[in-house]
Structure 1
Amino acid sequence: MIEPAKAAFEERAALLLAVRQAGVRDISVMRAIEAVPREAFAPYKFRDLANRNMALPLGCGQTMSRPADLGRRIEALRIGRGHRVLEVGTGSGYGTAILARLAREVVSLERYETLAIEAARRLAALPAANAAALHGDGLAPAPTLGQFDRIVVQAALDAPPAALLQLLSPGGALVYARRDFAEGEKRPRQRLIKVDRIEGGDLRENDLGPHSLGAAAFGVAKAL
């Protein structure tokens, strides 16, 4: 019989291997994923599955992304210790906690009030003092939030809204999953897209390959 502690260690090691096999190579990102306990953010009834590379159900019809997919999005941003990061779609707060280990400050906006409250509680317990989970529409953020060096949208969009792009500082980068509708196909394909604000304020896109995320929604809600 395998001891529980040994089993947990082996599951954690397998999870990190899966993240690496997905193409994540940045050591700082790998260390941040290793340092943040996913089980502390997973719903109680799914905690035994937290150290597996699989999506997990959350409240309000949302899901926790697979760690490998989350790692790809975060690595694409190339976050530095001095960066201010905006996250659109807090969910459980797991991604927020990983971002907090890489950046100077993280502001995360969640459209479902119940998820925002629960995520804020988990982040406080960790603790992640440089991260804030707020109830708000991340696709129509208030200009008063200020400028951000990095923005990650934890959802799929046809294109980032102008209100979000306006918060991206010069030299900044935004990552999201773009939905592309191919002729004759009922379901859209998704691609991981990085948008860089280059010199002069122009935007440049880079396609980082296939990806998968739930569709984004505008507005705010207390719960489903």
Structure 2
Amino acid sequence: MSEDADETARRKMQFLFALRTKGVTDTRVLTAMEKIDRRQFTRGVFAARAYEDMPLPIACGQTISQPSVVGLMTQALKPGPRDKVLEVGTGSGYQAAILSQLARRVYTVDRHRALVATASDIFRRLDLTNITALTADGSFGLPDQAPFDRILVTAAAEDPPGPLLAQLRKGGIMVVPVGQSDTVQSLIRVTRTDEGLEYEELRSVRFVPLVEGLGREH
């Protein structure tokens, strides 16, 4: 093994160890995060920091979330191998790629056309054929493809968005950061039961706000 490959392997081991120490303990999630290389979703000078547990800037003023948060949100979502998943907020595409290893089908939407185009290129390069990436106003979900078994929202809303809750199948789970954009938000898990919706507060997080409408491309 070359020195560079040796160093990369060492950093990936540290990366997985850091995930475990932050509470990502689900074996399926850890395996998916070991298989999907975060470096593929970072650009330029930030690629060197791909295995650090920190958010990194991407295009359109957005960020790629820190890996431990990606892992904890995926773990909270409990995606199964037969599930159809909607992700709101494609961003770099990293979270959708993780989900693609755990679910049957992943639909991911983002309001920024440029982010969707870049992520789609990466999905093709990595041969992740069970992801469909679309430019859309994620606050309205994807009614044409509903209902979904799982919905993951990677931007903070003041309340879990009604249109998304309406697209959640009975027995389905939605994980969403809730709170004002300038304060600490709470990660909420919503489960649709026979009796209605059950809400569970998981942890404090910080995400960009969920914005309605499509992004203005530069």
Q: Which residue pairs with 2:12 in the alignment? A: 12
**SS of residue matched to 2:91:** coil
Q: Please tell me the residue identity of whatever aligns with 2:115.
A: L
Identical aligned residues as a percent: 36
Written as runs of structure 1 = structure 2, the 5 A alignment for 1:1-224 is 3-179=3-179, 187-200=182-195, 202-223=196-217
Supply the RMSD in Å over aligned alpha carbons. Answer: 1.5
Structure 1 residue 146: Cα displacement: 1.9
CA offsets per residue over residues 113-170 of structure 1, 9 Å max, x none? Answer: 0000110110011011001111111111242122100000001111122111111000
CA offsets per residue over residues 28-54 of structure 1, 9 Å max, x none? Answer: 000000000111111133111111111
Structure 1 residue 222: Cα displacement: 4.4
Contact preservation (8 Å) 1:114, 1:222: no
Q: Distance in 2 between matches of 1:38 and 1:133?
A: 18
Q: Distance in 1 between matches of 2:217 and 2:28?
A: 35
Normalising by structure 1, we get a TM-score of 0.93
Q: Distance in 1 between matches of 2:212 and 2:21?
A: 34
Structure 1 residue 98: Cα displacement: 0.5
Q: Please tell me the residue identity of whatever aligns with 1:217.
A: V
Q: Distance in 2 between matches of 1:133 and 1:217?
A: 18
**SS of residue matched to 1:219:** coil
Q: Please tell me the residue identity of whatever aligns with 1:215.
A: P
CA offsets per residue over residues 40-91 of structure 1, 9 Å max, x none? Answer: 1111331111111111100000000000011000000111100000000000
Q: Distance in 1 between matches of 2:122 and 2:180?
A: 35
Q: Distance in 2 between matches of 1:37 and 1:60?
A: 22
Contact preservation (8 Å) 2:156, 2:179: yes
- Residue 20 to residue 192, structure 1, CA distance change in 2 (3 Å): same
Greater CA drift, 85-94 or 142-151: 142-151
CA offsets per residue over residues 172-193 of structure 1, 9 Å max, x none? Answer: 0000111169xxxxx4221110
